[in-house]
Amino acid sequence: MTRAHHAVVEDQFGPRAKAYVESAVHAGGEDLDALEAVVRRVAPVRALDLGTGGGHVAYRMARHARKVTASDLSGEMLAAVAATARTRALDNIETMEAPAERLPFPDAAFDFLGCRYSAHHWHDFERGMREARRVLARGATAVVIDAYSPGSPLLDTHLQAVELLRDPSHVRDYTAAEWAGALVRSGFQMRTGRTWRIRMDFDVWISRMRTPAVHVQAIRALQAAASAEVRDHFAIEADGSFMLDVMMVEAIAA
């Protein structure tokens, strides 16, 4: 049976909602702290967390925004976010099931956008970015965070291959230049950019996605056969753990 890409995403994430709420890589980190510092500075009235997953951006935004909408393709993810928000007494978070490529919000509905570790799953990245711009008021701040490709084809091919083997809903970790191009074409003005390298513990990384054993073996085979350049860049360890490049861009809706 063939499925649309959105169904592949839902099948991947829905049953793993609890794991994403609890995931240490998602629940914290310097990138999330940096995003929160921007929300604190802007103090938005209506903030949107696009591709909320386990809701970690929404929980941080809720401390500084009057109202937060957490949106995602996966209803199961959103149910977990709503339950967690209730537990934490964050009563200014609402949830909305929607694909990033077709948002059910009017133009200029929000004055802040956060989008973290989601865009690399979208089947139409540029359309999602145009939708993000459409629902923001002119002058609104957008903060996007995602894994990114270091750019050289050698490293890029390895990265996309292991990502896809781990998770069939992976589409592409874009390069910094691809991100900048998509943002500018969608009507954003780039403000600042930052990068980090985050260690992916191999067992945790594949367990969270329940990667099938045959794919785990293929990832390990690719890592074992990787060239010195690939091993060095990703700092691949004996157990398969590696360093992932992550970037944050702050942009303004022009």
Ligand X SMILES: C[S@@+](CC[C@H](N)C(=O)[O-])C[C@H]1O[C@@H](n2cnc3c(N)ncnc32)[C@H](O)[C@@H]1O
Shortest reach from residue 154's CB to ligand X, in Å? 26
36, 72, 146, 245: residue in contact with ligand X (rule CB under 6 A): 72
Contact range with ligand X by CB under 6 A, out of 79-87, 93-101, 216-224, 233-241? 93-101
- Interface residues for ligand X in 34-53 (CB under 6 A)? 51-53
Q: Please give the Cα distance from 140 to 129 (Å, whole number).
A: 14
Q: State which residue has the least CB distance to ligand X.
A: 53
Q: Is 246 in the site for ligand X (CB under 6 A)?
A: no
Q: Is 233 in the site for ligand X (CB under 6 A)?
A: no
Compute the residue count for the chain.
254
Q: Is 90 in the site for ligand X (CB under 6 A)?
A: no
Shortest reach from residue 117's CB to ligand X, in Å? 4
Shortest reach from residue 227's CB to ligand X, in Å? 29
46, 56, 172, 208: residue in contact with ligand X (rule CB under 6 A): 56
Shortest reach from residue 210's CB to ligand X, in Å? 14
73, 90, 113, 248: residue in contact with ligand X (rule CB under 6 A): 73
Question: What residues make contact with ligand X under the rule CB under 6 A?
Answer: 9, 13, 20, 26, 51-54, 56-57, 72-74, 77, 99-101, 116-118, 121-122
